Chains A and B, each alone.
Chain A
């Protein structure tokens, strides 16, 4: 699938995503605390962190769903705050719990999403049909989405995200609740998307996915980016040659004092 926009011709293109000093506070809790992030075009970036570290808040700010208290978000060099309409155009966001219209059929849902991104019918309709076929939902097109299983809803959310051919995809735990075959399908889709020039920023608790698929990995804890780099760079920084990502993750995010006591 040729899912991504071609890179800008001319001088050095702006990164797909740039966050500068991003900060968000909910009442007394600082969810994201001065996050600096730079993801190049065509890169697969995995965003890891323990529960409550601020991953979802960061992604929701990048998707334009939450206003940051301070800091800047640039998508392909365009400021999300200053020019939200244009900055959002190449963006797709798949939340961890896909929110879909239960009483719509798949094509009806995609029709509305395509209209939100102002796609002409001649482009959107074949694209929607192609996506449903690729994701194995074609046979389900007469049914309401509310009757879908969790995995099918996740695929439906992916179809919604891909219909406007985004160049930057933000995915929050996209593999949660998927069976092995569906997870494989999603991973293949994302790999193809990146191969064709698209950019992926993904959060996951399945460290094996980040280890195998991501070119760079960022680990966030307490709202701050505590370390970032390729797997090899993270290993070197953690002083563990040959250690798994899980070892590095646990070492970076938890001090020995924080280890829970064993169950009695």
Chain B
């Protein structure tokens, strides 16, 4: 009975997941062509690599790799728990049906585990295939380990998120869970990048220490299970299934409470008198409105955080060569990325396009106000980084950073508002969401990349590097000018939306 109920809910969940992901088989194939190509390329690289390796890699290295995947999957699972608990409006409907809460939880747990499973599939499958072909067929057991790990992190994700709900309340837990998920997902990457702050002579010891930590956390057991050793595999399977059963039993009751708490959070709060200073003028009112909406949406900020979590550590290696001058590419990268994402949110995620479009106001003026509002946090970042450079004794580089970062942020913001496809805010920045992808966004990312590289090189000691940096910055400036001169505002997407 329980299995049948789980099957019914899971089938429906997977159908919704598939439709949300693909929007049709052909579209899915089109939009994921790059991923499929990467999947093939990774296989082409991994299989010969393992064929040449001849012997098993050290267990500590395997433990570290499994640790990386486990944390990434845990981040994905924690994110998915938020979707399942807070963003799916079907709990009232399901809980009012004769389906047992345990069946609902099992189905949700399975859906979360599947989403965690797919989050790293692009990298895991080529590695396992490579190891199985190049080293030993026993590595095929890694597929079982991968699936068990997904179920394990799915259960853990549930516990982490529901613990946050109990400690912080639904409202704050929702934001905190997103931050935790982002930090978990990026934790191993962050850890790897930290080695850039360690002298080269001590790097080996640093990596050995990290491998030791991974082993201590039990990842060596997982690595042995992945090699097809039966007893670690049995321990992992037993532990995972035990935790999953415990999760379903204990959390079925908490799930109902959680949903009730979510309802309670909508209860009216105690009102406090707020003085309102009236703003007149379209530009100022629109600017203030968009800025308020950006600042008052903690979920939004939590969604933006992951992109910065990966961007900032990616610049750590330049610390070795540039030291404080790293602030120049950092300022450009972070400010432009913020401008791109926030502009995307304020334009594409605009909640009241109907109101705006039925008003007598010309739309380009509003898009300009949105650009300005989305760029306000970017300007703060640029100011901070430039101030750091001035204090560090690099006033020339600080001026260059202000000019180049502002130009790049403007170009990115302009790109984001030039094409608008109205999309619900919660769907805009979701990992795996397809809505926000377009050539304009990719062009924005290219500008950020070449601009950050240009500023990094412009701050280098060697003259030829500086020259290359200037060329990069010139290309970026041409790109920014093109954003304003060649890219028109596109107003044709509203009716399609």
Contact = CB atoms under 8 A, between A and B. Distances in A.
User: Are these two chains actual partners, yes or no?
Assistant: yes
A114 B269 CA distance: 27
Interface in B22-68: none
Interface in B286-330: 286, 288-289, 292-293, 296-297
Interface string B273-284: 110101111101
A117 B293 contact: no
B360 A103 contact: no
Given A99-B355, A101-B352, A141-B274, A111 B279 contact: yes
Interface string A101-134: 1111101100111111111110011000000000
A63 B354 CA distance: 9
B352 A100 contact: yes
A108 B279 CA distance: 9
B360 A115 contact: no
A103 B276 CA distance: 15
Contact of B293 (A104, A116, A118, A147): A104
Given A111-B279, A112-B289, A160 B355 contact: yes
A105 B274 contact: yes
Interface in A53-101: 63-67, 84-86, 88-89, 91, 93, 95, 99-101
Contacts, number: 105
B367 to A, nearest CB: 14
A89 B359 CA distance: 7
Interface string B250-285: 000000000000000010110111101011111011
Given A112-B286, A115-B279, A147 B269 contact: yes
A162 B293 CA distance: 23
A143 interface: yes
A258 interface: no
Contact of B289 (A84, A108, A119): A108
B362 A93 contact: no
Contacts of B266: 147
A115 B362 contact: no
A44 B178 CA distance: 51
Given A111-B278, A115-B280, A147-B268, A103 B292 contact: yes
Nearest to A26: B495
Interface string B336-356: 000000000000000110111
Contacts of A101: 289, 293, 351-352
B462 interface: no
Given A63-B358, A103-B297, A160-B355, 8 more contacts: A89-B360, A95-B354, A101-B351, A112-B286, A114-B285, A120-B280, A142-B272, A147-B269
Interface of B: 266, 268-269, 271-274, 276, 278-282, 284-286, 288-289, 292-293, 296-297, 351-352, 354-362, 494-495
Interface of A: 63-67, 84-86, 88-89, 91, 93, 95, 99-105, 107-108, 111-121, 124-125, 139-144, 147, 160
26 contacts: A63-B354, A65-B358, A67-B495, A84-B360, A85-B360, A88-B358, A89-B360, A99-B351, A101-B289, A101-B351, A101-B352, A102-B351, A105-B276, A108-B289, A115-B284, A115-B285, A116-B356, A116-B360, A118-B282, A120-B280, A121-B280, A139-B271, A141-B274, A142-B271, A143-B268, A143-B271
